[in-house]
Structure 1
Amino acid sequence: MFKRLMLRFRDMKTISKLISGADEQAHISGEEKPGAEHFVLSALNLEDGSAKRVFEKIGADTNDFRGAIKQQYTDALSSIGINGVATDIHPDPVEPNIMLHNSQPSGQELMKSLYAIKQSDKNRPLLGAHVISVAAEMEHGVVARALKVMGVDRERLAKLAKNEIESN
């Protein structure tokens, strides 16, 4: 009973850090609400280090992922004839001014999936690798396209994330 209570407390701290980190990543990007890509960036910075280890095992790192996200926007602008100069513009960070957390649909989907995982596995702590596992399962959106740009096999990434989770 005490062990489960302590695990729940630890998970709540992890979720708090994950959400605040995702908000920070979104604000740095000039966005008000975090998407799944911001949660992945946040997971890569969590203290448990599991997300970072999974990325290292697949030969990627935070900067690769951040660059691949940026590439999504560059490609989108290029597809409508806007090249070069416009992609070098960096948005001003957004100042947070919300009382309750709100995220983009992809961020909401990711958090719902994390909740479902925790409901089915109440004996392990929530780790950054859980976020990577969920993100690897996403077939559409910025995360899926960024991983594709990086040449990351999503199935292999999901398997490495699950192995990392099971080793803890």
Structure 2
Amino acid sequence: MKLPRALQDVRTIEALLTGAEAEAQRAGDDLPGPEHLLLSAFGLPDGTARRAFERLGADPADFRAAVETAHRQALQYVGVTVPDNAGEFPPPPLGGVHRMTAPGQEVFQAAVKLSKATKPSLLRGGHVVAAVCGQEHGTVARALTALGIERSVLAAAAREALADR
């Protein structure tokens, strides 16, 4: 990998992980998970995550709403009621070492592995989309199901978005 590509990859990774932390904090979660990585990937400048969703006629904003509903339903299942007007949690200061949940780490590692298998080998949002589609359980799977999106179809759309570049 040439130095400019390595720098671009580092910048993308930093933006992805910092964005995932911000998404987790916004939701009141201690650590980012796969859903936060995907929400962060929608904001990456390469646009492949957004394009993958748009290829299916889906709106990334709908995914955010589906994640919030999945979180609320999971809490209600264990007897915790969250009011609809709970609002956003104040973010603690960002910085330092990036940490994630175990499923979040799995998705990040899978996305990096996918990026290394494509040319040019730069991490892009579409890699994150394809990686989260590999998870059968969890918030992302529930949110995609609620939106009527099949993970295998979304993964194919992500690969197409990556190939368009």
Q: Same fold (TM over 0.5)?
A: yes
- Pairing partner for 1:49 from 47, 52, 57: 47
Q: Does 1:72 align with 2:70?
A: yes
* Higher deviation after alignment, 117-126 or 57-66: 117-126
Who wins on radius of gyration, i.e. which is larger?
1
Contact kept? 2:133, 2:141, Cα under 8 Å: yes
Question: Equivalent residue for 2:57?
Answer: 59
Q: Does 1:155 align with 2:152?
A: yes
Give the TM-score normalised by structure 2. Answer: 0.88
Which runs of no fewer than 5 residues in structure 2 stay unpaired? Answer: none
Question: Equivalent residue for 1:100?
Answer: 97
Q: Between Structure 1 and Structure 2, how many residues are aligned? A: 165
Question: Equivalent residue for 1:164?
Answer: 161
Displacement after TM superposition at 1:8 (Å): 1.9
Displacement after TM superposition at 1:78 (Å): 3.8
Q: Tell me the alpha carbon deviations over residues 54-73 of structure 1, each in whole angstroms, 9 at most, x when there is no partner.
A: 11111222220111011112
Question: Equivalent residue for 2:114?
Answer: 117
Is the helix fraction higher in 1 or 2? 1
Aligned alpha-carbon RMSD (Å): 2.0
Displacement after TM superposition at 1:49 (Å): 1.1
Q: Secondary structure at the match of 2:87?
A: coil
Which runs of no fewer than 5 residues in structure 1 stay unpaired? Answer: none
Which amino acid is 1:150 matched to?
L
* Distance in structure 2 (CA, Å) of the matches to 1:87 and 1:76: 14
